[in-house]
Structure 1
Amino acid sequence: MLAIFLQTLPFFLIIGLGFVAGRTGFFNEEATAWLTRFVFYFALSAMLFRFAANLSLAEVLDWQFVTAYLCATGFVYLLVTGVAFLRGARVEVAAFEAQCATIGNVGFLGVPMLTLLMGEAAIGPVMLVLAVDLIFFGSLIVILITGARDGRMNIRILGTVGMGLLKNPMIVSIMLGLGWSALALPIPVVMNDFLSLLGGAATPGALFAIGASLAGKSAERPFIAGWLSICKLVLHPAAVALSALWLFSVAPYAAAVMIAAAALPVAGNVYILAQHYRVAPQRVSASILISTVAAVVSVSLVIGWVGALY
């Protein structure tokens, strides 16, 4: 277990470096926003496209895997929503609490870390988790918020959701990569070197950006944020493990990657949405901060445990 911790520690040390740079003012909010933009639209997209272009859709798309992850995540989503309703929370607040409990930082942290620690074969399962999070649960939060505010479901909501997916560079790069693979097109040496060089910036850039963004977050309402962090770091991977290993008998290696992805801390894009819709941004901010700090230990424990599965 110590060996696993030492392997994951460099990733969190880069996050810590970004946090110090943000706290000291060396890296201000504007600089963090531009770095995040570079990673999101260029470096991470290059990495995902290159990975996807070397896979086939048949290798990636596993409906048993998707069903297991959806069922487990849906269970935690409904549980956290129910607890929020029992406290008297509004639909919008309950939806964001459920999002905190189920949507991990798969794009910025999971893709680079899990592919390095668990092997490049992990990219297929990681991309499936990322796709489900973005397409299903990313759409669900928009539908719930818009529907609650309008008082009814409107066909225009689907248009908003569709445009949001088409504008997401992670979804676009994965689909373009799989399309390239489906056409059996070779990747020219120059193109491959370009994608490798640009994609290589994704790991340190994304980790540094996570840390710098955490510098501006506070741990207000720590009780609720603590509950949501426990759900994300403990309950979510536990539910995914039960679903993948016992209910749906997912292949051991794919199940291990799925569980590790579920153990990641709360995603930063949940905070961006909370700010956009003006729904509990401080609570979401605190959940991201607490879960990321706790993940230094918890993610190592989970990766160490799932390593025995394959």
Structure 2
Amino acid sequence: MLAVLLETLPFFALIAVGYGAGRIGFFTPEATAYLTKFVFYFALSAMLFRFSANLSIGDLWDWDFVLAYLLAGTSVYVLATLVALFRRRGIEEAAVEAQCAVIGNVGFLGIPMLALLMGEEAIGFNMLVLAVDLVVFGSLIVIVITGGRDGRLKPAVLKTVGLGLLANPMIVSIGLGLILSAARVPIPTPVNDFLILLGAAATPGALFAIGASLATKSAERLAVAGWLSFAKLVLHPAAVAICALWIFDVEPFAAAVMIAAASLPVAGNVYILAQHYGVAPHRVSASILISTFLSILTVSAAIAWVTAPGFGL
């Protein structure tokens, strides 16, 4: 594990640099917001578009993979919801806590880091994880909170969810890339070089932005945040491993990537949703902060396990 820890340290060191810049005020929250927009709308989208344009939907889609990840995530989601309800939290807070337990930072941390540590072939499987997170669980929290407030599910909610997905640049870039691939349209060399250059900014930009955004997070409500961090960093990857290796027939490398992706800390977009709906933002903030720092060890342990000789056999 030590060798893997040393490999992951540069990634977390870059997060620490961003955190330091944010804490001393050198990088303001406004600057962090604009850097995040650059990574989200340009650098990461360029990386995903270029990669998906060189894939076919047949190469990308794997029912065993999707079902294994979906079953594992649903199991942990239900558990986190029941724990919240047992603590007499409302359905809205339960939905937000469940989101913390299953949605990892796949876009900003997982895709760039695992691509470098496990090879570019890991990006496709990360894209599948990201798709399930965005389409299924990302839609679920909006439906539960909105439905809970209105007392029933209105058709307008589904329209809002659909438009939100279509406006997500990661979904759009993957979709456009797959369309280009299906049409067998090659990317011209100058355009490909441009995408490589722009996409190369995704890793340092995303990691720095994660750190800078953590500088504004508080560590309040530590007991609940500790439980949610445990659910995300331990229970989620454990459930994914059980589903991928023993319930479904997921190919070993694909299972390895899925488990590594599940070991990632709570995603920043959960905080955005919590703040938008006014539901437990401080609790989510603390969960992101704690899980990100602890993930230095948990991500390294997960990657060390899934890259060890004989994994999945």
TM-score by length of structure 1 reads 0.99
Please list the CA deviations of residues 152-201 of structure 1 after superposition, one character each: whole Å capped at 9, or x if unmatched: 01111110000000000000000011111111111111000100011011
Measure the CA separation in 1 of the matches of 2:241 and 2:288.
23
* TM-fit CA distance, 1:49: 0.3
Q: How does 1:231-246 map to 2 (within 5 A)?
A: 231-246=231-246
Match of 1:210 in 2: 210
Query: What letter is aligned with 1:221?
Result: R
* TM-fit CA distance, 1:85: 0.3
Query: What letter is aligned with 2:142?
Result: V
* 1:50 and 2:44 correspond: no
Match of 1:200 in 2: 200
* TM-fit CA distance, 1:123: 1.1
Q: Secondary structure at the match of 1:120?
A: coil
Query: What letter is aligned with 1:259?
Result: I
Query: What letter is aligned with 1:280?
Result: A
Query: What letter is aligned with 1:182?
Result: A
Measure the CA separation in 2 of the matches of 1:2 and 1:249.
30
Number of aligned residue pairs: 310
Q: How does 1:155-234 map to 2 (within 5 A)?
A: 155-234=155-234
Query: What letter is aligned with 1:227?
Result: W
Measure the CA separation in 1 of the matches of 2:86 and 2:211.
34
Match of 1:284 in 2: 284
Match of 2:126 in 1: 126
% same residue: 70
RMSD: 0.6
Measure the CA separation in 1 of the matches of 2:124 and 2:33.
29
Please list the CA deviations of residues 73-121 of structure 1 after superposition, one character each: whole Å capped at 9, or x if unmatched: 0000000000000000001100000000000000000000011101111
* 1:106 and 2:106 correspond: yes
Match of 2:256 in 1: 256
Query: What letter is aligned with 1:205?
Result: G
Please, which runs of 5 or more residues in structure 1 have no aligned partner? none
TM-score by length of structure 2 reads 0.98
Match of 2:20 in 1: 20
Match of 1:148 in 2: 148
Q: How does 1:66-81 map to 2 (within 5 A)?
A: 66-81=66-81
Match of 1:2 in 2: 2
Q: Secondary structure at the match of 1:104?
A: coil
